Amino acid sequence: MAVDKETVKRIAFLSRLKIEDDKIEATQAEFNKILQWIEQLNEVTTEGVEPLVSVNDGNITCREDIVTTGNHSKEILANAPQAAYGYFTVPKVIE
Amino acid sequence: MTELTKLTVSETLEGLKNKKFSAIEVTQSYIKSMEANRHLNAYVLETPEIALNQAKESDKRYADGTNKPLDGIPMGIKDLFCTKGIRTTACSHILDNFIPQYESTVTQNLLNAGISILGKLNMDEFAMGGSNETSFYGPAINPYKANNSDTDLVAGGSSGGSAAAVSADICAAATGTDTGGSIRQPSALCGVTGIKPTYGRCSRYGIIAFASSLDQAGPIAKSVKDCALLLNVMAGYDNKDSTSANISVPDFTQFIGKDIKGLKIGIPAEYRPDGLNAEISKLWDNGIAMLKARGAEIVNISLPHTKYALAAYYIIAPAEASSNLARYDGVRYGLRVEGNGLDEMYINTRSEGFGKEVKRRIMIGTYVLSAGYYDAYYLKAQKVRRLIRNDFIEAFKKCDMILTPTSPTPAFPIGDKSMQENPINMYLNDVFTVSVNLAGLPGMSIPMGFSEHGLPLGLQLIGQAFDESRIFQVAATLEQDANFRGK
């Protein structure tokens, strides 16, 4: 499945990445080279094979759903590029 | 005193216990070495004052007899581990000046055991790379050069700074992480020893996430015993990581020196493809002969889906990465590049903050997870992942452990054209290591010899899940028999 230029632009936007217009062709070519390479998986018969999501064999347990920590807003905001009144700030999103 | 940096962790601990030297003296030696080796670009942040303060505390504990298992051992920490109050960037521009407000569990375990932190070690950006060349801070440089050559070689990746620093005696040992080979491959290229434990053995809490179902922390050190001493401390159940395994951690050092008579060592046919580097092939044969001479039984095995491991990995790892790296949006931490509105701020931040390889993988990951392609790529890769794991399950019915090469080549020059032009050529460096991550198994690289050009080469032992003990047992015999003499 080769991707076209429009798909490259769409994927870039979904990834929230900018590709300069003069780089789109090169990105598309590289993308298709990688996709072509990973498509060798089509040689493998996988009918009836259960997808492997996790290698943990039943050793995952849920901890009790209780509050174990809190009151860390100062630490949470310590690395914020912009913060005010105890909140992260972002560009205005509602007109 | 400079000779202190030549000692292994276990030798250093011996000397500290016997008061032959102090933790301060050890740390000062490493700080001098750090200053003398800046050209290797192994550290992206040096923290000598922190190390000296920690060493001072270690000396107090040695004085009053309350010393801990790794007291006074100066370590380098891969820049992927969050270290409280110490800048942590994953060697990415997007995490400029990020100061973690908490400590990763693995580094906390090490600190509780008395180590001192010399600084943060170079790595590929977000651990994505096989040569440390994708680091925002430039590549770490391999302490080895080919005979009669002055060309700088890669340290391997992604834990290139860790392997280079251990190899050049700029730390007693280092932490690494391994998603597709990132502990084992640089260890092989720099002539040091590194183990990626079973998935779930070490907590991932506080380790900046790349591909969460594959990432695992482990030690890189100068000897098999040092790795055992470190893993003893690094491993263990942690309720802050739901995938960490609630399985007891044995004292791995107990397995060093035990004989390996009767152990069955599997040799997978698929790891010797046509065109395998002749030196690597010979190294492997030597390793097989050593184990045989020790009374191990050599068993031919097959891992039929090996050739599909890299392709499956380059769907699964980017898919998980694209999701994990969605958090870098200029809002909560790191870089922020303003724009006209929220979306443009996200786009500007991410476009400036991420490097080329990271962007490539985010986009591949986004594509394989996108509507209409999910089944064809992501689901397919997960099915192939199961087949790869099943191969190992079958193989381990016939053998106790598997011996393979670690890396298909010795260290290569920085800026290698074929790898820069075609990313797939770079991905091929992980051809022998990546299956182990997909299957969640432990794997260790042991330095075994040199190429004809004088570059280190390593072999890999692959064990069954949570059977690191016997890896240490077999690795120790290989180490002894190979008698590798590094820098």
SS3 of B119-131: EEECCCHHHCCCC
Q: Closest residue of A to B338, CA-based?
A: A91
Nearest to A93 among B199, B342, B385 (CB): B342
| Cα B175 → chain centroid | 7
Within a domain: A50? no
B264-268 and B216-221 as β-strands: parallel, antiparallel, unpaired? unpaired
Mean pLDDT of chain B: 97
Question: Helix, strand, coil: what percent of chain A each, to 5?
Answer: 40, 5, 55
B158 part of the active site? yes
Within a domain: A68? no
Q: Which residues in chain A have Cβ-Cβ distances shorter than 8 Å to B243? A: 54, 56, 60
**Closest C-alpha to B72, from B122, B20, B37:** B20
> Cis peptide leading into B158, omega within 30 of 0?
yes
| Straight-line distance from the first to the last Cα atom of chain A, in angstroms, rounded to the nearest whole number | 41
- Tens digit of each residue's pLDDT (9 = 90 or more) over A41-89: 999 999 999 999 999 877 677 788 999 889 999 999 999 999 999 999 9
E strands, B1-114, are 43-46, 74-78
Q: Which CATH superfamily is domain B2-257 in?
A: Amidase signature (AS) domain (3.90.1300.10)
B483: tokens are 């008698």
Within a domain: A16? yes
Predicted local confidence at residue B146, as pLDDT = 97
Alpha-carbon gap, residue B376 to B68, rounded angstroms: 52
Residue of B78, B120, B196, B222 with catalytic role: B78
- Tens digit of each residue's pLDDT (9 = 90 or more) over B105-124: 999 999 999 999 999 999 99
- Tens digit of each residue's pLDDT (9 = 90 or more) over A17-42: 999 999 999 999 999 999 999 999 99
Predicted local confidence at residue A59, as pLDDT = 67
B1 pLDDT higher than 50: no
Tell me whether residues B342 and A90 touch, CB distance under 8 A. yes
**Closest C-alpha to B154, from B41, B286, B242, B22:** B41
CA distance B37 to chain A (A): 31
A90 pLDDT higher than 50: yes
Cβ of residue B393 closer than 8 Å to a chain A Cβ? no
SS3 (DSSP) at B201: coil
A10: tokens are 């769409």
- Tens digit of each residue's pLDDT (9 = 90 or more) over B231-276: 999 999 999 999 999 999 999 999 999 999 999 999 999 999 988 9
Alpha-carbon gap, residue B447 to B409, rounded angstroms: 13
The number of C-alpha atoms within 13 Å of B264 and in the hemisphere containing its C-beta is 12
Alpha-carbon gap, residue A44 to B311, rounded angstroms: 11
Query: What are the contacts of B324-327 at 24+ separation with CB within 8 A?
Result: B324/B209, B324/B210, B324/B211, B324/B212, B325/B126, B325/B354, B325/B358, B325/B362
- Domain carrying residue A30: 5-43
Predicted local confidence at residue B215, as pLDDT = 97
CA distance B335 to chain A (A): 7
The number of C-alpha atoms within 13 Å of B269 and in the hemisphere containing its C-beta is 6
Within a domain: A21? yes
B336: tokens are 């922020």
Domain ranges in chain B with CATH number 3.90.1300.10: 2-257
User: In this prediction, what percent of chain B has a pLDDT beyond 90?
Assistant: 95
Within a domain: A56? no
Nearest to B370 among A14, A43, A56 (CB): A14
Spatial contact of B69 and B229, defined as CB atoms under 8 Å apart: yes
Strand order in the sheet with B193-196: B43-46, B116-121, B74-78, B173-178, B216-221, B193-196, B443-450, B456-462, B401-405, B264-268, B297-301
**Closest C-alpha to B198, from B181, B183, B218, B182:** B218
Residue of B158, B203, B244, B407 with catalytic role: B158
Q: Where is average pLDDT lowest: B47-56, B62-71, B193-202, B410-419?
A: B410-419
Kindly state the greatest CA–CA separation across chain A: 57
B182 part of the active site? yes
Chains A–B, number of C-beta pairs less than 8 Å apart: 159
Helices and strands counted in chain A (H then E): 3, 2
The number of C-alpha atoms within 13 Å of B50 and in the hemisphere containing its C-beta is 20
Q: Please, which residues have CB within 8 angstroms of residue B296's CB and are 6 or more apart in sequence?
A: B260, B261, B262, B263, B264, B265, B474
- Tens digit of each residue's pLDDT (9 = 90 or more) over B130-151: 999 999 999 999 999 999 999 9
CA distance A22 to chain B (A): 15
Q: Which of residues 344-363 of B touch A (CB under 8 A)?
A: 345-348, 350-351, 354, 359-360, 362-363
Bridge partners, residue A84, by sequence: A87
The number of C-alpha atoms within 13 Å of B334 and in the hemisphere containing its C-beta is 19
The number of C-alpha atoms within 13 Å of B1 and in the hemisphere containing its C-beta is 14
Work out the pLDDT band at A94, boundaries 50, 70, 90: confident
| Cα A65 → chain centroid | 27
Alpha-carbon gap, residue B321 to B329, rounded angstroms: 14
Phi and psi, residue B464, nearest 5° = -75, 160
SS3 (DSSP) at A83: strand
Spatial contact of B126 and B359, defined as CB atoms under 8 Å apart: no
Q: What is the dihedral of CA B46, B52, B55, B57, to 10 degrees?
A: -130
Q: Which residues in chain A have Cβ-Cβ distances shorter than 8 Å to B442? A: none
| Cα B20 → chain centroid | 32
Count how many domains chain A has.
Answer: 1
Distances (CA, A) of B170 to A22, A53, B5, B136: 44, 39, 7, 21
Amino acid at the residue A34: I
B203 part of the active site? no
B458 pLDDT higher than 80: yes
B51: tokens are 């190390």
Looking up tokens 């962790």, which residue turns up?
B9
CA distance B373 to chain A (A): 9
CATH number for the domain that contains residue A24: 1.10.20
DSSP B277-293: -HHHHHHHHHHHHHHHH
What is the value of pTM for the model shown?
A: 0.97
Q: Which residues in chain A have Cβ-Cβ distances shorter than 8 Å to B422? A: 33
